[in-house]
Structure 1
Amino acid sequence: MAIRSQLFEGGSLEATAKDVFAFPHARATMLQGVTVNIAFIGNETFYDRLNAIDSLLTLGARPRPIISARRIASREELGSILSRSTEERGVREVFLVGGDPSTPKGPFIDSMDIINGNFLNPKAIQTVGITGYPEGHPHIEDEVLWTYLKLKVNTLLALGFKVEITTQLSFDINTVVTWIEQVRSEGIHVPIRVGIPSPTSIEGIINFARICRVRTSVNLLQRFGWQLTSILSRVGPDRFLDSLFLETQRRDLGEIRLHMFPLGNLFKALTWFQKYGCGT
């Protein structure tokens, strides 16, 4: 139970601005102290994300805006995003990603361009999150991923930031644990958040995995130990988490936390997350 509590303490989750606006304020206590990554997606504006930050602060949560390098049109836009999120609103964490567009909208090709460009103010920002890829990336060689992971972590630490790594979604616990062990063997000892999906239908999980460019199928999910009855049946990461609990007891994986990708209703996903974390 202690390991379970440790993993769930300080858990984080992903949300769009739309998800945040739909969250019932009567249940605000559920979000108090919870870190919420605010997605940077094409169909929501900068002002939507700012309003989501305001809503989360009102609910007592810890907003962590995602900064998508290739979606930013100019250095001025990036400066405005950062200053209005952190210096004006007191947000102390950001999360850097390269972004999905194959062609950058502006001058930033990847998150290293932001890190190296002196845009991040260590007086305003305490923690910077970055992504890890246990299953690799369909368009980036593994050697490049490892080189850049070490470069990002070491550069950010040298600049005075705390660093967290959040893994991309994976359904294979062995792949995730092996990847974490390699991270530690590379001398990277910052906290790692393991990405998990909230309970949803098999169809919902497969569709989300496709968006995240993670390989999966009904056959693969079954091979990884996911209990499936039909394409429309609801499943959750319970067995994945049980295995993760065991591995954290058997191995020295360092500081591990969880990051949930809510697939559907944020309130229902958070209810499950908190209930499961209590072992009920």
Structure 2
Amino acid sequence: MNDLLRLTPLPSDERACEALASPRYELLPLADLQQAADALPAGAVVTVTCSPRHGLARTLTASETLAAAGFRVVPHLAARLVRDRGHLAEAVARMTALGIDECFVVGGDAEAAEGDFATGLALLEALAELPTRPSRIGIPAYPEGHPHISVGDLQRDLEAKARFADYAVTQLCFEAAPLLAWREQQRQRGMSLPVHAGLPGVLPRKRLLGLATRLGLGPSTRVLGRQKGLIARLLRPARYRPDTLLEALWPHLGDATQGFAGVHLYTFNQAADTRAWCEAQCRRQCAWKTSDSLSVTP
């Protein structure tokens, strides 16, 4: 049946459309940051990563640039890169001066802490004591586990962090099954924290495989190289698109209680292609929802 002739959408469709229409875009504070930002919708939510190589200062400088351009900026604060409470207070004050009132707290990829904070939880506890604490704080979640942390420790860590957080974002995943299984497990454990589903953006498969290996991502990365035969390789698109993943998650999007409150797109600065994909999906999935006059029976 033609999408334009579908019935008026169910509430779950409405929620999913709203979630897809306003995703979070993650950018890396690299040389092509400005080019990536120029490709995004005006006023979009943009998160900025923080790496051991470039440090917290690079993240905050990039956040200044993006805030000045009118984006809703969410800097990552990597615990292992924050020296002490004074350094943390300076970072928060700098954010406040820019009108940034949200941050995303991670432990960080540095092998050793530069100062007093070895874990994301320790930084969250310190943030809670600041008089200028950001009004919204996000934390990461790992449905497919973490290469250096046991499943049990991850769960205890998530539950401890949830007391200080307003939402969680799942680590990059390429299949719906582990995401949905993990979300149901959290629901059964009574976790009420809203969760945003972390989806890969549109990227060359070869580059995405390299990133997945370097970042230690979970077993769902097998979908990137599943087709082995010559004909399969010739027919398979050179660029990865998360169409199948989105389709499987669609009934669960926009449901902050039992599903996923929103969509977080890991762009790796391929923002133009990722935005184009997202908007094309919106047109395909949601264009018909505003045409109430097309409420015909199939």
Q: TM-score when scaled to structure 2? A: 0.79
Instruction: Spell out the pairing of 1:177-196 with structure 2 (5 A cutoff).
Output: 177-196=180-199
Counterpart Cα distance in 2 of 1:217 and 1:257: 20
- Matching residue of 2:239: 234
* Number of equivalenced pairs: 267
Instruction: Spell out the pairing of 1:69-218 with structure 2 (5 A cutoff).
Output: 69-85=79-95, 87-118=96-127, 121=130, 123-154=132-163, 156=164, 163-216=166-219
Q: Give the one of 256, 261, 268 matched to 2:261.
A: 256
Q: Please report how far the alpha carbon of residue 98 of structure 1 lies from its aligned counterpart in structure 2 after TM superposition.
A: 0.4
Residues 202 and 134 of structure 1, relative CA distance in 2, 3 Å threshold: same
AA aligned to 2:162 is V
Q: Please report how far the alpha carbon of residue 60 of structure 1 lies from its aligned counterpart in structure 2 after TM superposition.
A: 2.1
3-state DSSP of counterpart to 2:284: coil
3-state DSSP of counterpart to 1:276: helix
Counterpart Cα distance in 1 of 2:175 and 2:63: 33
Post-superposition Cα deviations, 1:34-89, rounded to whole Å, max 9, x if no partner, equal 2211111234354433332222223321100100011223332222112111x211
- Matching residue of 1:159: none
Q: Give the one of 15, 20, 25 matched to 2:33.
A: 20
AA aligned to 2:238 is S
- Matching residue of 1:273: 278
Superposed CA RMSD in Å reads: 2.9
3-state DSSP of counterpart to 1:196: strand
Q: TM-score when scaled to structure 1? A: 0.83
AA aligned to 1:263 is F
Contiguous gaps of at least 5 residues in structure 2: 1-12, 286-298
Post-superposition Cα deviations, 1:118-162, rounded to whole Å, max 9, x if no partner, equal 4664655111000000001111111111111111112x1xxxxx6
Give the share of equivalent positions with the same residue, in percent: 23
Counterpart Cα distance in 2 of 1:105 and 1:130: 20
3-state DSSP of counterpart to 1:244: helix
3-state DSSP of counterpart to 1:134: coil
Q: Please report how far the alpha carbon of residue 106 of structure 1 lies from its aligned counterpart in structure 2 after TM superposition.
A: 1.4
AA aligned to 1:81 is A
Contiguous gaps of at least 5 residues in structure 1: 157-161
Counterpart Cα distance in 2 of 1:53 and 1:43: 17
Q: Is the contact between residue 165 and residue 193 of structure 1 (CA under 8 Å) also seen in structure 2?
A: yes
Counterpart Cα distance in 2 of 1:14 and 1:24: 10
Counterpart Cα distance in 2 of 1:222 and 1:75: 45
| Largest Rg, 1 or 2 | 2
Counterpart Cα distance in 1 of 2:147 and 2:91: 29
Residues 118 and 205 of structure 1, relative CA distance in 2, 3 Å threshold: closer
AA aligned to 2:73 is P
Q: Please report how far the alpha carbon of residue 114 of structure 1 lies from its aligned counterpart in structure 2 after TM superposition.
A: 1.1
Counterpart Cα distance in 2 of 1:21 and 1:60: 13
- Matching residue of 2:42: 31
